[in-house]
Amino acid sequence: MNIGERLRRLRMQRNLTQEEMADRCELSKGFISQVERDLAPPSIATLTDMLECLGSDLKTFFSAADEDEKIVFEPTDMFEKTDEENLRGSIVWLIPSAQKNEMEPILVNIGPNGASQEMPPHEGEEFGYVLSGSVILKIGDKKHRIKTGGSFCIHPTAPHCLINNGKRPAKVLWVSTPPSF
């Protein structure tokens, strides 16, 4: 059983940051991070306190069945948001409730002269693979052209977005960790 991952999921379900949880539990943000990454095991007393701050208890936490977790998704499970104004396309969340996971895969469809939403800098990594078309990855003031079959991997330290200056739609598989879309 992965206690850290289960605690992280429970915290994310409650829409709490590590800092907010640390404040509630009177622990450090660093300790919460270490527990969630299974680098530091909490004592039973600390785990009980953490679960209480998350609105749970030991019995409920340990009785939750991992085997009920869905691992295969159909197109009907996915959620699509259309943005005709900026993106001139859509974003498809490939995994329902991906915000509770460590990564969030999406499919970004960008129409001609469209652009994705500009994302602020954040901890973590982002990976993208251009399935069709051509895009420009803009990171701060720098621009990188990526054609079909190309990919990118960044540690976003500046605002960033994808731009399609082409005449054809572009399709990009985009994975962010931690979830940020």
Taking alpha carbons only, the member of 80, 74, 145, 140 closest to residue 109 is: 80
Mean pLDDT of the region 18-41: 92
Under DSSP, is residue 109 helix (H, G, I), strand (E, B) or coil? strand
Q: Which residues contact 142 (CB under 8 A, 6 or more apart)?
A: none
Q: Is the pLDDT reported for residue 68 higher than 80? A: no
- Choose among 82, 57, 165, 160: nearest CA to 117: 160
**In the chain, domain spans:** 3-68, 75-177
pTM of the model: 0.62
Beta-carbon contacts of residue 27 (< 8 Å; ≥ 6 apart): 21, 46, 50
- Residue 117 in this model has a pLDDT that exceeds 90: no
Q: Is residue 130 packed enough to be buried (19+ CB in 10 Å), middle (13-18) or exposed (0-12)?
A: buried
Between CA 94 and CA 80 the distance in angstroms is: 9
Architecture in CATH of 3-68:
Orthogonal Bundle (1.10)
pLDDT tens per residue, range 69-96: 678 889 888 888 888 666 688 999 898 8
pLDDT score of 103: 86
CATH of the domain spanning 75-177: 2.60.120.10
Per the structure block, which two tokens stand in for 153? 């991997």
